[in-house]
Structure 1
Amino acid sequence: MKQIGFIFYLSGFLFSATGYLNGLIRDVSTHQPLVGVNVIISGSGLGAATDMDGNFRIGHIPVGSYNVRVSMIGYEAVSRANVHIVPQRTTTVNFDLHPTVLESESVSVTAKFFERTKDAVTSSRTVDIEEIRSDPIGVYDIMAMMQALPSVVSGADQYNEIIVRGGAPGENLFVMDYLEIPYPNHYPEQGKGGGPVTMVDTDFIERIDFYAGA
């Protein structure tokens, strides 16, 4: 019985030789609580992180004087020296952290010319002058004639705009003698790629090179 009594006495002595540490950590400018701030008691192996309200609590700290360090990404780390832990008591230490700018190595971005992927598949078709003149529609409207080509559909009956492979009519590129033409049609409407009739006279066309893209 004496041995058991001695064990209980020793355990009670060790338990009474510890204390607690709690506190609140906020942003120094906004006074808003900071969540997830690391709180470390140097030399004790003990620590905690602040909760949703910016509070922290560390228990069963051996009695003594400690250096408490708090840190969080985006804020300057702060240390508080000579924080005394007394038996069976709670010591309160609050912190206000200053935001800091994270510095990193510079990043250089270099632009290069667009290069078509070598294995990209492109559908092409060349229509010569004989085919244009023999086509009953091509004689009057080149754009309407192009609607009959593979991978091309008509946008609307009253317009000669073309839709290639499901793209929008405004995504098509028209080039005449190496010059880009925004809209090769008379009276185009905003947001559309065609008009009632083309403005290109078929008598001046030698051939048409059509590329459906990759």
Structure 2
Amino acid sequence: MKASTTLLIIFSVIFTGTCFAQITQTIRGKVIEKESKTEMAGVNVVLTTDTAKKTGTTTDMNGYFRLDNVVVGRHSLKFSFIGYSEVSLLNIIVDAGKEVVLVIEMEEQIATKDEVIITANKSGESANEMSSGSTRSFTIEETNRYAGSRSDPARMASNFAGVQGADDSRNDIVIRGNSPMGLLWKVEGIDIPNPNHFAVPGTTGGAISILNNKIFGQSDFMTGAFSAEFGNANAGVFDIRLRNGNNE
């Protein structure tokens, strides 16, 4: 009887410890100078979510930082360095499935001013500085967010103003009344005739997109006023940029 009671107590302690164990993940990344794109060493990185116990680190000689054992959930980070404006990232989602990898740009502080807060989900700024008119920037999250997008950038764009999907069975899109054949696809600066499965020759659409939205970086969708590099388009342009690979 005494032995059974002892075993029961031991199993209860182990089970209780397992129940209260917190799932953790890693936040890592790189800090660079905005203008020169060079690595910044010695930048203070602070996890500001828990005000009672702040966790932090500094970037190494190559600008890399790493925060281990971060509890799964929503967190905020603050980056600070003498002579540079502070950068704050709010509501970073940390889940158990994968590490959070960030690339942070810090801008030199010319004059004294209020704190600059940059949110992690900022969108709408064109990645192509030469084509800012009628340009809509989009990210991997947006290709999953819109109803009926099916992780397809063309179907996602049919939710934008002035854009209409031609048929639900295909991802051809009509931009401001122009023919779908006038759409130009570019991936990392290279013209792609038709990035779709089951495509008809001479068209720009198809039933299923070949492109994997999981590798998209910040990309642009243009509906007019194209710069000279997009001279082959008369309806719209998808200028797709790819993410950087994992460096570890």
Instruction: Name the TM-score class by shorter chain.
Output: 0.3 to 0.5
TM-score, normalised via structure 1 length: 0.43
Considering only CA atoms, is the larger Rg found in Structure 1 or Structure 2?
Answer: 1
TM-score, normalised via structure 2 length: 0.38
